[in-house]
Amino acid sequence: DVQLVESGGGSVQAGGSLRLSCAASEYSVSNNCVGWFRQVPGKQREGVASLYNNGKSTDYADSVKGRFTMSLDNAKNTVYLQMNSLKPEDTAMYYCAFAFRGSFCPSLNTNTYMYWGQGTQVTVS
């Protein structure tokens, strides 16, 4: 199985920045499909960003384009989500997700992914 461990969440004021990390075990993030999702209580989990093909293919939700950037570090087998100009509406639990490479990547669809991390909380006030 793929193990995903997120970190980097926290509390920040509006306009601030955070960088989330997702470390993956066993399988390479560069050759497979990795995504970031977020969820607030009572709402469906939504796709934020996705990365595939060693970072050559990316996709972002309209709500975060120009503010969030997803990247990867092959040596650490880790993906990152750099979040700038944060807004209160970005407050959510953020999850990292992994899928073995396929024709549907990059993808912001939760159904694409088989493996999920435990989540890290981001609070913007």
Q: Buried b vs exposed e over 21-42: b needs ≥16 C-beta within 10 Å?
A: bbbbeebebbebbbbbbbeeee
Q: Contact 21/7 with Cβ under 8 angstroms?
A: yes
pLDDT of residue 122: 98
What is the predicted pLDDT for the residue at 82? 98
- Predicted local distance difference test score (pLDDT) of residue 1: 86
Gap between the Cα atoms of 50 and 57, Å rounded: 8
Helix, strand, or coil (residue 48): strand
Q: Quick one: CA torsion of 82, 20, 71, 55, rounded to 10 degrees?
A: -130
- The pLDDT averaged over each successive group of 10 residues in the chain (125 residues) is 95 98 92 95 97 91 98 95 98 96 87 96 98
